[in-house]
Amino acid sequence: MSYANPESLVSTNWVKDNLKNPNVRIVEVNVDPKVYDAGHVPGAISLSWVTQLQDQVARDIVGQSGFEQLLSDAGINPSDTVILYGDNNNWFAAYGYWLFKIYGHTDVRLMNGGRAKWLSEDDKQLTTDRPTFPHSTYKITKIRPELRAKVPEVLEVTATKRANLVDVRSVDEYTGKIIAPPGMTETAQRAGHVPGAKNIPWAQSVNPDGTFKSAEDLRTLYANAGVDFSKPAIAYCRIGERSSHTWFVLRELLGVADVKNYDGSWTEYGNLIGAPIEKNV
C-alpha cells in the first residue's frame, strides 16, 4: 500500500539533490527564529508561524493580501515548487503546508522527517547564510476554504456524527487531566474533548526518526481507533499546529477525500459558552 499522494512528500536526499534547482524554494517554518539563525538547510528562507503566518490583531490565519505580500517579499512565484520543513516533526511546517493549500499554491511539499532528520544525516549540512531572491508579484487566484473547519461545523458534527472528529492531543489533554501540554500556557477555561472525538495523538503517526509511518501502518492506526474512512474528517489539537500534521496524514497520505483542520482547536472550543464537553477523569 502506497501513500495516496506520494508527491506531497520529499526525502532529505531529494532536497539535497535540488538545492541548486531554481524552480525549488525551501522554507523553514519556525516559532523561534533563533533556530533558523543558528543554522538551516542551504538556500532556505525563514517564515515565522507566530509573526508571519498569523494575523497580528485577530486570532486568525494571515489574510490573503498579507500572504501575497509575504510570498512576494520572499521572491516566491506561484509556479515554484515549495518545500517546507521545521522542528517538532514538522508541526509548523505542516501548518504552513495547509496554509499554502488554502491559498491555492499548486506545488507545495513537506520534507519528510523535518529538521531533525536533516541534522541526523552526516552528508547534510547547515548554513547560517541568509539567501536573497528577487522580489516577485505573487497573486492568489484560488482560495480553498473547504480545508478549514470553524465552530459552527464542529458543533454540527457533534450532533449529527456525519464526520470523524480526531483529537490529536496527548491522552492527558484528551481526558481532561490537563488543559495544555506541560510548560505551555493554559489558554482554555475548561479541559476535556469535543464529544464523539477519537483520540489519536499525532506522534503515533511518525517513526522514531520523525518520518511518517507507512500507509499500511497509518491506515491500521486510524481504523483501530474508530476512524471511518468513508466519512469526512475534522482534526483538532490546542492551537492547530499538531492537527495540521494529522490533517496532512489523513488527506495527503491516506487519501480521505474531505479533511479539515479546525485551527481554532481547544483554545477556542474550551472557552465557548455552552459548548458540550466530554471528560474521562
- Active site residues per annotation: 237
The Cα 208–Cα 225 span in angstroms is 21
List Cβ neighbours of 123 (8 Å cut-off, separation of 6 or more): 16
- The residue assigned the cell 499538531 is 242
What are the DSSP calls for 106-123, one per residue?
S-EEEETTHHHHHHT-TT
- Which residue type is seen at 1? M
Residues 6 or more apart whose CB falls under 8 angstroms from that of 43 comprise 19, 26, 131
Q: At what angle do helices 91-102 and 241-248 cross, to 10 degrees?
A: 70
Q: Which of 277, 268, 274, 231 is nearest to 250 (CA)?
A: 231
Are 173 and 201 a contacting pair, CB within 8 Å? no
- CB of 112 closer than 8 Å to CB of 9: yes
- Tell me how far apart the alpha carbons of residues 194 and 115 are, in angstroms, rounded to a whole number: 32
- Measured CA to CA, the distance from residue 268 to residue 212 in angstroms comes to 28
Q: Which amino acid is at 78?
A: P
